[in-house]
Structure 1
Amino acid sequence: MKQYSVILIGAGMRGTTYTNEMLNAKDKFKVVGVAEPVEIRRNYIKSAHNLSDEMCYNSWEDILSQPKMADFAIISTMDDMHYEPAMKAIELGYNLLLEKPVAPTAKECADIALAAEKKGVKVLVCHVLRYTNFFKKIKNIIMDGTLGNVMSIMHVEAVGNIHQSHSYVRGNWHSEKETSPMLLAKCCHDLDILQWLLDEPCEKIQSFGKLTYFTEANAPKGAPVRCIDGGCPIEDTCPYNCRKLYYDDKENSWFRYSSTRDIVKGDNITDEDVMTALKTTDYGLCVYHANNDVVDHQTVNMQFKSGANVTLTMNAFNQGGRFIRIFGTKGELTAYMESDKIEIYTFDDGKRKEVATTLTEESILGGHGGGDTGLVYELYDYFSGNYNGYCAADINISVKNHLIGFAAEKSRREDTVENIDKFFAEYGFTNN
């Protein structure tokens, strides 16, 4: 069995997740190099994969200035830093595992796809929800005809008020100027899943959405810039009080880790580390003084070639969790991802039944419902040329789904209904 050599460009949470998964498949993958400007992140990868000093680089420019040193590269830098390293890696002949969103602009997404095709390299995009047992089961139900012809889909990305505050108000994805619009940063998953489930062209798209709540205008009178500065009139009752979320809640390892990841790497996070983060990073900001600009609610309406209509709603104001309803000519499906529950109602017998999703430990404990693990394990067959599954999203498929997202953003900003054929043509793609 061939063991693929891998370099990691960007050792944040996503890149570290994939390379940690590769430690459980050492016969298939070996991480041989890392590029990461933050020393503690770089040192973590160095230690975890027994890298020499010579194979640890401060930047993507440094590692990609060397001759090709691995079979493929993982590019998991921040959203606005995908394009240049991806293009350079393709030029050097690397196959890529590319974190989504592919790039922050439609043109850059298209450029990467066209460059990969010209060079003849493979680029797999990290649409990890495809690899979950949950969505694979829904895909199979549609494919086997249980629901008949799909007439409409209602899909909700319920981000969760606390998740929104953590990632899209205080966190890395708070600014579309620095990363991507919310629809690409968060709902890139969902746009891809909807295209994958229906497997037919989207013809028209329209979108509405705004940033309405997490703004200066809604700050309580006298609220300080940082929660820990004291004097906030709603300190005791505010659900977004950073002291309660990050300092007092010792069990929330995700929040404690992500807020201190540039201060300490690993599990030995102290209260002092957390307090330092709240004093010096955006995680300590009041959610109404965070200089964020991404929408906190958005709806996308899509019309597909068969006549099927799809509605995608992203909303911050909920407990959190995706759910989907699919309406077909023979029945309907209702599914909740967080509880891994799928229910079907069939018209011929008028009965409801719950469908097992083959729940595994990875589904319960793994990132994105086990999708992170599933992606890494299918990655091997994809790059080896032995792939016979239906989950992999190569760059051409992914970019088309990204372009649909960019068309939706254009609709939201310009109050238009976008024709997808015309939008694709602007970037050299056909809608098929």
Structure 2
Amino acid sequence: MSSRLSKSFFRKGSKTKDEPMALPTSTGVQSVVTLAVIGCGQRGKNYSQYSLDFPEQCKVVAIAEPRPATRKQFAQEHQIDQTLVFRTWEELLAASEDTVKAIGKRLADAVLVTVQDHMHLEVTTAFAKQGYHILCEKPMSTSVEGCIEMEEVVRKANIIFGMGHVMRYSPYSQEITEVIRSGSLGELVNAVHVEPVGYYHFAHSYVRGSWGKERDSSFSLMTKCCHDIDLLCHWFGPAKPTRVSSFGSLKHFNKASKPMEARGATRCLDCPMEKKCEYSAKKIYLEPVAHGQTGWPIKPLVDGVPDIENVMEALQTGPYGRCVYECENDVCDNQVVNLEFSNGSTASLTMVAFSSTICERQTRLHFTHGEIVGDMHKFTVTDFRKKTSKTFRPSNLGGHGGGDIGLIRSFVEAVRFGKQQILGTNVEEVMQNHLIVFAAELSRKEGRVVDCRAFEVEARDMVAAANAKT
């Protein structure tokens, strides 16, 4: 394969100089930040919960959601005026444009982009061009070209921009960051970071679900672990990644691994060995809903409130009832990434499907004078010089160890005060850390060590050349 960037990463066919300004009020600071939510699924719901818990901080005033029952339920929960409830994001965008032309005002202060991955670029750039502040769920885009395009549009719009790299914003991660930045353990030399996705979580999302096929979304390192790479880069900063290598494969979730006892069954409800299979859709979805569980991972199966009847129908006819060995999935179920930084430090990331814990990252950070060992619930700091160890148990409220609420809180504050630095990052850094993930996947596919800086230069040159032709 050519040493040049793989075309599969491209769509077919330092901080910004000026801080974005808050929308003007009589005091110069937003009181209650208004939000428009595009995509009212799991991520949109999680972020929007902040407005219900802290109505003095923000309020959801407009939504766009194609599923009728989900749209109705979300609108009722947030008491949204029916004139601001839309089926598609294009309808919301058009209504906003009409409002801007008529009275010179947007429908909201900011937009939460929580649609499917392949839509992030189009939706984010459209609303950024209208001047909305943006919180975009990860990833920025499913292509290198898209990430660079989004960076350019956001910079030109001079807006507040947040990315769904929630790992940075949990109390657990932030307390570890404080220890690193304090220098009390010396210099950070090495990190060993493991993302145990969880056996049924991986089967749900990356085999049967929306992230199972690269052509429909992206490769699993990007869709699952781009915020792990972001966190590692954050911890080692200001040093930058210089070289990356990666290995991985789709080891298990394929036809070759299908048990003989399953015979010709293609759906769990028809399978003779369903009771013995850990990936049984009946065990993962139907039995829990029979006991009153209606949240994740059951909620994504239906539009509206899950019950025995509609979940059964979904398993009989929809993608979540398929045998995990008979799906069209093609993304890695195990992958390792090795990073070298500009100061000589190193890090490794392991993403693996086969674990009992669900996304409870395990991390070992090795310093010149100590170490930190953590599991997202607690971490232990050992100082070699003092010969002491102390365990910390940060608060853990909400999804991703409190990272979801930490991110939306920071984003709302950034919009409120017109200060990008409240988010602790900017679109340029976000884009660069996405490029590290693309470089790692290129390494896996081509079997070579990738120079990170050369990768970015080549990517920008290719995009510039493509733009020059159009």
After TM superposition, the score normalised by the length of structure 2 is 0.85
Residues paired across the two proteins, number: 416
SS of aligned partner of 1:302: strand
How far did 1:146 drift? 2.5
Structure 2 residue 8 is matched with structure 1 residue 15: no
Q: Aligned partners of 1:388 and 1:82: how far apart in 2?
A: 20
Note closer, same or farther for the CA distance 1:255–1:380 as it changes in structure 2 (3 Å cut): closer
Match 1:378 to one of 388, 410, 429: 410
Unaligned segments of structure 1, at least 5 residues: none
SS of aligned partner of 2:332: coil
Q: Aligned partners of 2:284 and 2:338: how far apart in 1?
A: 35
How far did 1:389 drift? 6.9
How far did 1:370 drift? 1.1
Q: Aligned partners of 1:283 and 1:19: how far apart in 2?
A: 26
Aligned to 1:297: 334
Q: Aligned partners of 2:194 and 2:211: how far apart in 1?
A: 20
Amino acid at match of 2:189: M
Q: Counterparts in 2 of 1:47-58, with a 5 A limit?
A: 47-58=76-87
Aligned to 1:347: 384
Structure 2 residue 197 is matched with structure 1 residue 168: no
Structure 2 residue 107 is matched with structure 1 residue 69: yes
* 1:157-189 deviation digits (Å, cap 9, x = unpaired): 111111111111112211121112111100012
* 1:77-100 deviation digits (Å, cap 9, x = unpaired): 100111111111111111101111
Aligned to 2:373: 334
Aligned to 1:260: 301
* 1:24-53 deviation digits (Å, cap 9, x = unpaired): 121221212111111112112211122233
* 1:254-304 deviation digits (Å, cap 9, x = unpaired): 345334332x24xxx321122112112211111111211110000001000
Q: Counterparts in 2 of 1:391-410, with a 5 A limit?
A: 392-410=424-442
Aligned to 2:444: 412
Aligned to 1:213: 252
Residues 176-185 or 294-303, more deviating: 176-185
Structure 2 residue 315 is matched with structure 1 residue 278: yes
Q: Counterparts in 2 of 1:67-216, with a 5 A limit?
A: 67=97, 68-199=106-237, 200-216=239-255
Note closer, same or farther for the CA distance 1:385–1:37 as it changes in structure 2 (3 Å cut): same
How far did 1:411 drift? 0.8
Aligned to 2:5: none
Q: Aligned partners of 1:115 and 1:388: how far apart in 2?
A: 16
Note closer, same or farther for the CA distance 1:420–1:5 as it changes in structure 2 (3 Å cut): same
Is contact 1:166–1:283 with CA below 8 Å preserved after alignment? yes
Q: Aligned partners of 1:106 and 1:252: how far apart in 2?
A: 39
Note closer, same or farther for the CA distance 1:51–1:285 as it changes in structure 2 (3 Å cut): same
Is contact 2:302–2:314 with CA below 8 Å preserved after alignment? no
How far did 1:251 drift? 5.8
SS of aligned partner of 1:155: strand
Q: Aligned partners of 1:196 and 1:253: how far apart in 2?
A: 36
Unaligned segments of structure 2, at least 5 residues: 1-29, 98-105, 462-470
Is contact 1:127–1:393 with CA below 8 Å preserved after alignment? no
Q: Aligned partners of 2:353 and 2:420: how far apart in 1?
A: 37
SS of aligned partner of 1:152: strand
How far did 1:312 drift? 0.5
How far did 1:252 drift? 4.7
Structure 2 residue 275 is matched with structure 1 residue 236: yes
SS of aligned partner of 1:191: helix
Amino acid at match of 1:206: S
Q: Aligned partners of 1:261 and 1:185: how far apart in 2?
A: 22
Is contact 1:8–1:74 with CA below 8 Å preserved after alignment? yes
Residues 379-388 or 9-18, more deviating: 379-388
Amino acid at match of 2:337: V
Is contact 1:137–1:357 with CA below 8 Å preserved after alignment? no
Is contact 2:160–2:420 with CA below 8 Å preserved after alignment? no
Q: Aligned partners of 1:237 and 1:146: how far apart in 2?
A: 51
Coordinate RMSD, CA, aligned: 1.8
Is contact 1:256–1:274 with CA below 8 Å preserved after alignment? no
Amino acid at match of 1:412: R
SS of aligned partner of 2:62: strand
Amino acid at match of 2:70: R
Is contact 1:205–1:302 with CA below 8 Å preserved after alignment? yes
Note closer, same or farther for the CA distance 1:271–1:256 as it changes in structure 2 (3 Å cut): farther
Note closer, same or farther for the CA distance 1:170–1:428 as it changes in structure 2 (3 Å cut): same
Is contact 2:160–2:419 with CA below 8 Å preserved after alignment? no
* 1:47-74 deviation digits (Å, cap 9, x = unpaired): 1122233211111111112223211111
Note closer, same or farther for the CA distance 1:84–1:392 as it changes in structure 2 (3 Å cut): same
Q: Aligned partners of 2:295 and 2:110: how far apart in 1?
A: 29
How far did 1:388 drift? 9.0
Q: Aligned partners of 2:160 and 2:420: how far apart in 1?
A: 16
How far did 1:384 drift? 2.5
Q: Aligned partners of 1:223 and 1:150: how far apart in 2?
A: 53
Note closer, same or farther for the CA distance 1:256–1:328 as it changes in structure 2 (3 Å cut): closer
SS of aligned partner of 2:324: coil
Is contact 2:302–2:311 with CA below 8 Å preserved after alignment? no
Residues 183-192 or 66-75, more deviating: 66-75
After TM superposition, the score normalised by the length of structure 1 is 0.92
Is contact 1:343–1:353 with CA below 8 Å preserved after alignment? yes
Q: Aligned partners of 2:111 and 2:92: how far apart in 1?
A: 11
SS of aligned partner of 1:421: helix
Match 2:56 to one of 24, 27, 36: 27
Is contact 2:244–2:439 with CA below 8 Å preserved after alignment? yes
Identity of aligned residues (%): 33
Q: Aligned partners of 2:187 and 2:409: how far apart in 1?
A: 32
